C-alpha cells in the first residue's frame, strides 16, 4: 500500500554513509528488508496558541544563522537560538555574552509556559526540552518538525523539580549537525526545596556548558567529513565552555555552585580537579541528590549534567585550580581512541576550564548535609519485575540500532508499548563487540585486521542512553568482568540521583526504574552520542 521509496532511500543512504556499497548488499539484515513500506513521517499542522492557556511565562524563541567571534580573528558562522521575553519576570531569559549558545532560560516549578518557536534556519527543525516532563506533542518529537520559515507554539506546565535541563533541536537525522553548529541552551528549573537550602546563587552559581569543536584556518566550523567521523561520533580539538575558548574565571575565596552540562555531540569527559581534590557532587540530571557525595572524578557523557560544590575558601589569592579531563579508555574502539579527537584524543589528559582566586572574602556558605527528598521506587513498585523492557544496544557498520532496529516512524515493537501511569523496569544491555552484530563478515578484513575474537570491548563503544519523559533511577549495573578499560571509568558514575541519560559501557548491563506517568503518546529513547542518534540509534516508546 505504501510506496517503497522510503526503503530504497534509506538503504541508499546507509550504503553511502557506510561506504560499503555492493559488498554490504548481500548481507542486508532483516530489519532493513522489514522497513520496506514503512511510512514517511507525516506532516503535522502548525500548532497555534490556545487562548484558554493562561501563561505565566511567554517566550519568543528563534533559531537562525548568525556569526560570533569565538577565536582570535575571523568570526565564526554559526546557527543559534535567540530569545525574547514577552511575559514573565526579569531573569527568565539571560543572554550569554559573545556566545553562540542560546540564552539561559530560568523557570520555576508550577509555572505555565508558552514558547513561540520560529524556524529561521534554511532547513527543518524542532526543539526538545531535554529533561522536562511534558506532553508528547510538546516534547519536540520529530513528528512535529517545523519547516523553514514556519513556527510552532509550545504550551506546558513545569512539573519538574529543580534541575538543569537542555533545549536543543531534535529533527530526524540532523540533530547532531544542528547542535554542532550552535543550537543548544541551558534551561534551569528552580523550586522551593532548592531555594530553602541557600546554596550559592547569583554570581556564585556558574552555568558551564562543555562542548568540543573543530575549526579550519579561517575560524569556520568543520563537521563530519567521512564515515568514521559518524561511526565513532564527531570530535573537535578545541574545548569551549559556554561557547568560549580557554575559559578562565576569576573567583572569590568562597564556595561556588557549578552547574555543568555536557553539550558535546559525542565527547565523554572524566572530570576532576587537577590538584587531586575530590569533587563534591550536589546533583545530576534530574536535580539534587539526597546528600552530597564526594568522588575522585566524575564521568560526564553527552546530555548528562552535574551539580558541583566548589569551595575555594582557604585558597590563597593568585592561585589557580583547573578542572581537567583525566585519561580513560574503553569508550571507543582502540583505533578510535588513537585516531579520533582531531588532535585532542578522547581519553587523553587536557584542561577544561580554570578558576583563578582573585579576591579574599571572609565568609562562605556551609555545605548542607541533607540536600533533598524524592520518591524512590523499588522493584516491587514496577509493573514488570520479572520481565524488564529491553533496550539492546546494537553496533554494526550498517547502522546503529536499539532492539535490533534503526529509527523509523510508526515502528513500535510490542515491548515498546507502555501502559500509561505505570512504573517500569528497563534493562539496557550492551553486549559489546561490534563484530558480533550485523553479520558483516566482510568487515573483519577491512578494519585493520582486528577481529571480533580479540575481545568484545576492542571494537565497541560506550553509549549515553537518553530516555525522554520522566527521570529514572539506576537500579543496578552489571559490569564486564576483568576489564581494565572499565576500571578506568567505574568510580565516576553517580547512580544515586534521578537521571535521564546513562552512560552504558561495552559489556555492561544497566537496570533502571522509570515512571511513565501523566502523558500518552510517542516518547523517544536514543543514544545521546548525537551522530549515533542520527545514524538510527533511536526508538519510540508508545505510552498508551
Ligand atoms: Cu551511541
Split at pLDDT 50, 70, 90, the class of 231 is: confident
* Residues whose CB is less than 8 angstroms from the CB of residue 145 and which lie 6 or more positions away in sequence, other chains included: 41, 44, 124, 125, 126, 171, 172
Longest dimension (CA), the chain: 75
C-alpha span between 105 and 166 (Å, rounded): 9
Rounded to the nearest angstrom, the distance between the alpha carbon of 528 and the centre of ligand 1 is 6
How many domains, the chain?
3
With vertex at residue 273, the alpha carbon angle to CA 267 and CA 276, rounded to the nearest 5 degrees, is 130
Assigned domain for 40 exists = no
Rounded to the nearest angstrom, the distance between the alpha carbon of 40 and the centre of ligand 1 is 24
Query: What pLDDT is attached to residue 501?
Result: 98
Model pLDDT for residues 387-420, shown as the tens digit of each residue = 999 999 998 777 789 999 999 998 999 999 999 9
C-alpha span between 140 and 160 (Å, rounded): 17
Mean pLDDT confidence for 108-137: 98
Query: What pLDDT is attached to residue 387?
Result: 97
Judgement on whether residues 261 and 348 belong to the same structural domain of the protein: yes
Rounded to the nearest angstrom, the distance between the alpha carbon of 85 and the centre of ligand 1 is 36
Q: Computed over its alpha carbons, how large is the radius of gyration of the chain?
A: 23
C-alpha span between 332 and 458 (Å, rounded): 8
What share of the chain in percent tops pLDDT 90?
79
Rounded to the nearest angstrom, the distance between the alpha carbon of 188 and the centre of ligand 1 is 26
Helix (H) or strand (E) holding 300: strand 298-300
Judgement on whether residues 341 and 416 belong to the same structural domain of the protein: no
Rounded to the nearest angstrom, the distance between the alpha carbon of 84 and the centre of ligand 1 is 34
Residues 522, 523, 526, 531, Cα dihedral to 10°? 70
Rounded to the nearest angstrom, the distance between the alpha carbon of 483 and the centre of ligand 1 is 20
Judgement on whether residues 305 and 239 belong to the same structural domain of the protein: yes
Residue with cell 558483516: 440
Rounded to the nearest angstrom, the distance between the alpha carbon of 463 and the centre of ligand 1 is 4
**Alpha-helix residue ranges (DSSP H) falling in 94-147:** none
Cα–Cα separations (whole angstroms), residue 21 to 122, 194, 342, 451: 31, 55, 27, 21
Could you write out the three-class secondary structure of 165-188? Answer: EEEEECCCCCHHHHHHCCCCEEEE
**pLDDT higher than 80, residue 220:** yes
Query: 520 near 469, Cβ under 8 Å?
Result: no
Rounded to the nearest angstrom, the distance between the alpha carbon of 49 and the centre of ligand 1 is 36
Residue 16 backbone zone (phi > 0: left; psi -120 to 50: alpha; other: beta): alpha
Judgement on whether residues 295 and 397 belong to the same structural domain of the protein: no
**pLDDT higher than 90, residue 54:** yes
Rounded to the nearest angstrom, the distance between the alpha carbon of 393 and the centre of ligand 1 is 8
* Residues whose CB is less than 8 angstroms from the CB of residue 82 and which lie 6 or more positions away in sequence, other chains included: 61, 62, 64, 66, 102, 103
Judgement on whether residues 459 and 401 belong to the same structural domain of the protein: yes
Rounded to the nearest angstrom, the distance between the alpha carbon of 224 and the centre of ligand 1 is 16
Query: What pLDDT is attached to residue 108?
Result: 98
Assigned domain for 52 exists = no
Rounded to the nearest angstrom, the distance between the alpha carbon of 271 and the centre of ligand 1 is 20
Helix (H) or strand (E) holding 18: helix 5-18
Rounded to the nearest angstrom, the distance between the alpha carbon of 449 and the centre of ligand 1 is 23
Q: Could you say which of 359, 386, 411 is where a domain stops?
A: 359
Rounded to the nearest angstrom, the distance between the alpha carbon of 502 and the centre of ligand 1 is 11
Rounded to the nearest angstrom, the distance between the alpha carbon of 199 and the centre of ligand 1 is 35
DSSP string, 468-508: -SS-BEEEEEEPPTT-HHHHTTGGG---SS-BSEEEE-TT-
Q: Could you say which of 195, 229, 261 is where a domain stops?
A: 195
Cell representation of residue 32: 532493513
Residue with cell 565497541: 460
Query: What pLDDT is attached to residue 343?
Result: 85
C-alpha span between 194 and 257 (Å, rounded): 12
Model pLDDT for residues 272-318, shown as the tens digit of each residue = 999 999 999 999 999 999 999 999 999 999 999 999 999 999 999 99
Judgement on whether residues 182 and 270 belong to the same structural domain of the protein: no
C-alpha span between 443 and 439 (Å, rounded): 9
Higher-pLDDT residue of 448 and 490 is 490
- Candidate from 173-182, 200-209, 247-256, 452-461 with smallest mean pLDDT: 452-461
| Domain harbouring 135, CATH code | 2.60.40.420
The three-state secondary structure class of 80 is: strand
Rounded to the nearest angstrom, the distance between the alpha carbon of 536 and the centre of ligand 1 is 10
If we measure between CA atoms, which residue out of 128, 137, 109 comes closest to residue 63?
128
Split at pLDDT 50, 70, 90, the class of 434 is: very low
Judgement on whether residues 114 and 147 belong to the same structural domain of the protein: yes
Judgement on whether residues 319 and 389 belong to the same structural domain of the protein: no
- Candidate from 75-84, 277-286, 356-365, 456-465 with smallest mean pLDDT: 456-465
Query: What pLDDT is attached to residue 491?
Result: 97
What share of the chain in percent tops pLDDT 70?
86
**pLDDT higher than 90, residue 162:** yes
Judgement on whether residues 328 and 382 belong to the same structural domain of the protein: no
Higher-pLDDT residue of 479 and 253 is 253
Rounded to the nearest angstrom, the distance between the alpha carbon of 333 and the centre of ligand 1 is 12
Rounded to the nearest angstrom, the distance between the alpha carbon of 266 and the centre of ligand 1 is 8
Rounded to the nearest angstrom, the distance between the alpha carbon of 332 and the centre of ligand 1 is 10
Rounded to the nearest angstrom, the distance between the alpha carbon of 532 and the centre of ligand 1 is 5
Q: Which residues pair with 216 in a beta bridge?
A: none
Rounded to the nearest angstrom, the distance between the alpha carbon of 533 and the centre of ligand 1 is 7
Identify the domain containing residue 152 by its residue range: 57-195
Higher-pLDDT residue of 69 and 34 is 69
Rounded to the nearest angstrom, the distance between the alpha carbon of 529 and the centre of ligand 1 is 5
Rounded to the nearest angstrom, the distance between the alpha carbon of 415 and the centre of ligand 1 is 21
Where b means 16+ CB within 10 Å and e means fewer, 170-205 reads bbbebbbbbbbbbbbbbbbbbbebbeebebbeeebe
Query: 489 near 448, Cβ under 8 Å?
Result: no
**pLDDT higher than 80, residue 117:** yes
Rounded to the nearest angstrom, the distance between the alpha carbon of 234 and the centre of ligand 1 is 11
**Alpha-helix residue ranges (DSSP H) falling in 189-298:** 192-195, 227-231
Rounded to the nearest angstrom, the distance between the alpha carbon of 124 and the centre of ligand 1 is 23
Judgement on whether residues 180 and 213 belong to the same structural domain of the protein: no
Query: 498 near 454, Cβ under 8 Å?
Result: no
Assigned domain for 180 exists = yes
Rounded to the nearest angstrom, the distance between the alpha carbon of 159 and the centre of ligand 1 is 29
Assigned domain for 310 exists = yes
Assigned domain for 21 exists = no
Judgement on whether residues 389 and 323 belong to the same structural domain of the protein: no
Q: Could you say which of 335, 359, 383 is where a domain stops?
A: 359
Query: What pLDDT is attached to residue 284?
Result: 98
Rounded to the nearest angstrom, the distance between the alpha carbon of 462 and the centre of ligand 1 is 7
Rounded to the nearest angstrom, the distance between the alpha carbon of 454 and the centre of ligand 1 is 21
For 183, half-sphere exposure in the C-beta direction (CA atoms, 13 angstrom radius) is 26
Rounded to the nearest angstrom, the distance between the alpha carbon of 24 and the centre of ligand 1 is 22
C-alpha span between 495 and 503 (Å, rounded): 11
Rounded to the nearest angstrom, the distance between the alpha carbon of 14 and the centre of ligand 1 is 17
Rounded to the nearest angstrom, the distance between the alpha carbon of 41 and the centre of ligand 1 is 23
Rounded to the nearest angstrom, the distance between the alpha carbon of 537 and the centre of ligand 1 is 7
Long-range own/partner contacts, residues 6-9 (CB < 8 A, 24 or more apart):
6/35, 6/36, 6/37, 6/38, 6/39, 6/40, 7/32, 7/35, 7/36, 7/37, 7/38
Query: 516 near 418, Cβ under 8 Å?
Result: yes
Rounded to the nearest angstrom, the distance between the alpha carbon of 112 and the centre of ligand 1 is 34
Rounded to the nearest angstrom, the distance between the alpha carbon of 125 and the centre of ligand 1 is 21
Rounded to the nearest angstrom, the distance between the alpha carbon of 236 and the centre of ligand 1 is 17
Assigned domain for 8 exists = no
Rounded to the nearest angstrom, the distance between the alpha carbon of 465 and the centre of ligand 1 is 7
Judgement on whether residues 129 and 220 belong to the same structural domain of the protein: no
Rounded to the nearest angstrom, the distance between the alpha carbon of 510 and the centre of ligand 1 is 15
Query: What pLDDT is attached to residue 7?
Result: 38
**pLDDT higher than 50, residue 455:** no
Rounded to the nearest angstrom, the distance between the alpha carbon of 336 and the centre of ligand 1 is 14
Classify burial at 508, counting beta carbons within 10 Å of its beta carbon; exposed 0-12, middle 13-18, buried 19 or more. Answer: buried
Could you write out the three-class secondary structure of 382-416? Answer: CCCCCCCEEEEEEECCCCEEECCECCCCCCCCHHH
Rounded to the nearest angstrom, the distance between the alpha carbon of 256 and the centre of ligand 1 is 33
Amino acid at each position: 500500500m505504501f510506496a517503497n521509496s522510503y526503503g530504497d532511500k534509506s538503504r541508499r543512504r546507509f550504503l553511502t554513509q557506510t561506504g560499503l556499497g555492493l559488498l554490504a548488499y548481500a548481507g542486508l539484515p532483516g530489519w532493513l528488508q522489514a522497513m520496506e513500506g514503512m511510512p514517511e513521517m507525516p506532516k503535522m499542522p502548525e500548532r497555534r496558541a490556545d487562548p484558554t492557556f493562561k501563561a505565566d511565562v511567554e517566550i519568543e524563541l528563534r533559531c537562525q544563522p548568525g556569526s560570533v567571534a569565538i577565536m582570535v580573528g575571523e568570526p565564526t558562522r554559526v546557527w543559534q537560538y535567540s530569545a525574547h521575553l514577552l511575559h514573565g519576570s526579569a531573569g527568565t531569559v539571560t543572554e550569554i555574552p559573545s556566545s553562540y549558545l542560546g540564552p539561559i532560560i530560568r523557570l520555576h516549578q508550577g509555572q505555565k509556559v508558552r514558547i513561540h518557536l520560529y524556524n529561521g534556519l534554511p532547513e527543518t527543525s524542532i526543539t526538545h526540552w531535554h529533561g522536562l516532563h511534558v506532553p508528547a506533542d510538546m516534547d519536540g518529537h520529530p513528528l512535529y518538525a517545523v519547516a523553514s520559515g514556519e513556527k510552532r507554539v509550545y504550551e506546558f506546565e513545569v512539573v519538574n523539580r529543580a534541575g538543569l535541563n537542555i533545549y536543543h533541536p531534535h529533527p530526524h537525522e540532523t540533530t547532531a549537525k544542528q547542535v554542532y553548529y550552535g543550537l543548544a541552551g541551558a534551561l534551569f528549573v528552580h523550586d522551593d526545596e532548592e531555594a530553602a537550602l541557600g546554596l550559592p546563587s547569583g554570581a556564585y552559581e556558574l552555568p558551564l556548558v562543555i562542548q568540543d569543536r573543530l575549526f579550519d584556518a579561517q575560524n569556520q566550523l568543520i563537521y563530519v567529513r567521512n564515515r568514521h567521523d559518524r561511526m565513532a561520533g564527531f570530535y573537535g580539538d578545541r574545548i569551549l565552555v559556554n561557547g568560549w575558548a580557554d575559559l578562565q574565571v576569576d573567583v572569590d575565596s568562597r564556595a561556588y555552585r557549578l552547574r555543568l552540562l555536557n553539550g558535546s555531540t559525542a565527547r565523554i569527559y572524566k572530570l576532576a580537579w587537577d590538584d587531586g581534590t575530590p569533587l563534591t557532587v550536589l546533583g545530576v540530571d534530574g536535580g539534587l541528590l539526597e546528600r552530597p557525595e564526594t568522588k575522585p572524578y566524575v564521568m560526564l557523557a553527552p546530555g548528562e549534567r552535574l551539580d558541583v560544590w566548589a569551595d575555594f575558601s582557604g585558597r590563597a589569592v593568585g592561585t589557580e585550580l583547573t578542572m581537567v579531563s583525566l585519561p580513560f579508555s574503553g569508550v571507543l574502539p582502540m583505533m578510535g581512541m588513537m585516531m579520533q579527537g582531531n588532535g585532542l584524543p578522547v581519553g587523553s589528559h587536557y584542561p577544561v576550564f580554570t578558576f583563578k582566586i582573585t579576591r579574599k572574602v571572609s565568609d562562605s556558605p556551609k555545605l548542607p548535609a541533607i540536600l533533598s527528598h524524592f520518591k524512590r521506587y523499588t522493584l516491587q513498585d514496577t509493573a514488570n519485575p520479572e520481565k524488564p523492557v529491553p533496550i539492546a544496544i546494537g553496533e554494526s557498520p550498517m547502522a546503529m540500532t536499539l532492539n535490533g532496529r534503526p529509527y523509523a516512524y510508526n515502528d513500535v515493537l510490542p515491548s515498546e508499548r507502555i501502559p500509561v501511569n505505570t512504573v517500569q523496569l528497563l534493562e539496557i544491555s550492551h553486549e559489546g563487540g561490534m563484530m558480533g552484530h550485523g553479520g558483516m563478515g566482510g568487515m573483519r578484513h577491512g578494519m585493520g585486521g582486528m577481529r571480533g575474537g580479540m575481545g568484545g570491548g576492542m571494537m565497541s563503544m560506550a553509549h549515553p542512553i537518553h530516555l525522554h519523559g520522566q527521570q529514572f533511577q539506576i537500579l543496578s549495573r552489571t559490569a564486564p568482568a576483568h576489564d581494565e578499560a572499565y576500571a578506568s571509568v567505574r568510580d565516576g558514575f553517580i547512580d544515586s540521583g534521578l537521571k535521564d541519560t546513562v552512560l552504558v559501557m561495552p559489556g555492561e548491563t544497566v537496570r533502571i526504574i522509570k515512571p511513565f506517568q501523566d502523558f500518552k503518546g510517542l516518547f523517544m529513547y536514543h543514544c545521546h552520542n548525537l551522530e549515533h542518534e542520527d545514524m538510527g540509534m533511536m526508538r519510540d516508546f508508545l505510552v498508551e
